[in-house]
Amino acid sequence: MAATPQAEAVAHEAKAIGSDDYSLSRVPRDKRFGFWSMLLQWLAQSGSISQFTLGATIGVGMTFGNAFLAFTLGAVILEVVIFAIGLAGMREGLATPMLTRWVGFGRNGSALVSFVIAVSLVGWFGVQNTIFGNSVSALVGGPSWMWCVLAGIAITALVIFGFKYMAVFAKIVTPLFFAMVAWSIVSTLKDHSISELINSPAPGQTIPLAVAATAIAGGYMTGAIVSPEMTRYNKKGSHVFLQSASSMILSEYIVGMTGVLLGHLVKSSEVSSIVLSTSGAFGVIVVLMSTAKINDWNLYGSSLGVVNFFQVVFGKRVHRGAVTIVLGVAGTALSAVGIMTHFTEFLSVLGVAIPPIGGIIVAEYWVVKRMRKPLDETRESETLPKTSPTWVPMSIAIWIAAFCVGKFYDGGIPALNSLATAFILYSALGLLGWVKPYGTSTLDDEDDTAAPAARATTPVGAA
């Protein structure tokens, strides 16, 4: 008796390495996570020594009051972006690469989005892994490349098995990190007057408010754009808001502003040694685990982008677990030989190219609503629309224009400039009816590796 396609799909998943994590489908509502599990995932993104260092860097050049304003501006900007995009991801149960098929870019345009996101995130995975290896080498000895390899293998192994195991890791690491940091900070500041530190002048060269806000908001903007990778596992929109807002409060006000106080105390941005020196070997282990917990999202987001890219470009459905292995090995190898640090400037350019994607998503999903109707019609059934637009040429033009504004305009915050430009242009042109999808692509069947169906050449949804 022949096996059914559903049975074959289950058997294929069972034999595959790791979890595919609904890379090309909606996350079913009965597979989503509760409030506290998701909250720990969000808070884990705040658990980084680098955020203390950022706070200290700003504290060296700003008074406590001005630093508070800078963190407030950065937090508000990020929260607005995260909630607007993350709520769309939660409603549809889709990650950013898949979401863009029906929200702004069309099927082929989503491949471009996936490529940019995948390259950027796996690049930053390698860069962070290099920083990780160098830091451990300086703290405990041993060659940097060895620590890069060990960290890369550990993170790759975790990400292979997907969101469920990443959530378990967050439950372990997040409480340990903040308990250890709290102990270190209290031990350091107990013999000093907090009020004097708050009222003390900036010990270094003055940093303008716009520059500080740029560092705060711009540094996490890519993470905000790909927030649907996480929020698609949320059950409620209120959870998205409360969890992301809690992460912003912890990251910017508690961790960041504590870094400002430490910067005023030691009159330097080199404050990581304070946390590490007061917590011993246990502190070093916890810090390393928390760093790995943040970097796992770079690899995870990259794997989702590659899966969508392969289906669109090559008509092949590849398993996310297998993709994770390839990306993890490549990123780890390049970080171990020290090559990744030479690509930071290129990755920074991609960092300006990603925010316009978010601007277009928000404009289409919440303002124009020209292409999202098929998602509305299939949301309750938790299936995907049978067809999607093939190209949206105007979106590509808007993307390029917004990138140029972010890259070449010197005022304001580059990431925010490019995002706002894309949002305004798409909203205005979309409401005027100038944003028109062209062609229709049939959704590839999940078990079908044949080439995509032929595309039509007439505009879709132009009426």
Instruction: Give per-residue pLDDT as tens, 264-317.
Output: 888 877 776 676 666 666 777 777 787 778 889 999 999 999 999 999 999 999
Query: Which pLDDT belongs to residue 69?
Result: 93
pLDDT band at residue 153 under the 50/70/90 scheme: very high
Sign of CA dihedral 400, 405, 408, 414: negative
pLDDT at 77 over 90: no
Query: Which pLDDT belongs to residue 137?
Result: 82
Query: Which pLDDT belongs to residue 25?
Result: 94
Exposure of 404 in the CB half-sphere (CA atoms within 13 A): 6
Q: How many domains does the chain have?
A: 1
Longest dimension (CA), the chain: 80
pLDDT band at residue 461 under the 50/70/90 scheme: very low
The domain in which residue 114 lies consists of 35-356
Report if residue 266 sits inside a domain.
yes
pLDDT in tens, 403-424: 999 989 987 778 889 999 999 9
Sign of CA dihedral 110, 296, 344, 258: positive
Q: What is the average pLDDT across 428-447?
A: 84
The b-or-e profile of 39-66 (16+ CB within 10 A means b, else e) is bbbbbbbbbbbebbbbbbbbbbbbbbeb
| Of residues 47, 51, 52, the one with CA closest to residue 189 | 52
116 C-beta neighbours (distance < 10 Å), count: 17
Report if residue 1 sits inside a domain.
no
Q: What is the average pLDDT across 55-72?
A: 90
Query: Which pLDDT belongs to residue 10?
Result: 44
pLDDT at 256 over 90: no
**In which residue are the tokens 């685990």 written?**
289
Distance CA 154, CA 177 (A): 18
User: Residue 408 has which token pair?
Assistant: 């070449």
User: Residue 377 has which token pair?
Assistant: 């019609």
Query: Which pLDDT belongs to residue 445?
Result: 45
Distance CA 260, CA 61 (A): 9
User: Under a CB-based contact definition with an 8 Å cutoff, are residues 78 and 256 in contact?
Assistant: no
Report if residue 239 sits inside a domain.
yes
Report if residue 409 sits inside a domain.
no
- Report helix, strand or coil for 208: coil
| pLDDT greater at residue 121 or residue 7 | 121
The DSSP element (H or E) to which 390 belongs, if any, is strand 387-391
Mean pLDDT rounded to a whole number for the chain? 85
pLDDT at 452 over 60: no
Query: Which pLDDT belongs to residue 8?
Result: 46
Query: Which pLDDT belongs to residue 451?
Result: 35
pLDDT band at residue 1 under the 50/70/90 scheme: very low
User: Under a CB-based contact definition with an 8 Å cutoff, are residues 24 and 317 in contact?
Assistant: yes
Report if residue 442 sits inside a domain.
no
Report if residue 413 sits inside a domain.
no
pLDDT > 90: percent of the chain? 50
Query: Which pLDDT belongs to residue 194?
Result: 86
Q: What is the average pLDDT across 108-134?
A: 89
Distance CA 353, CA 347 (A): 10
**Which CATH number does the domain housing residue 203 bear?**
1.10.4160.10
Show Cβ contacts of residue 388 under 8 Å, excluding neighbours closer than 6 positions. 101, 102, 106, 107, 374, 440, 441, 443
Report if residue 11 sits inside a domain.
no
Q: What is the average pLDDT across 202-216?
A: 84
Report if residue 384 sits inside a domain.
no
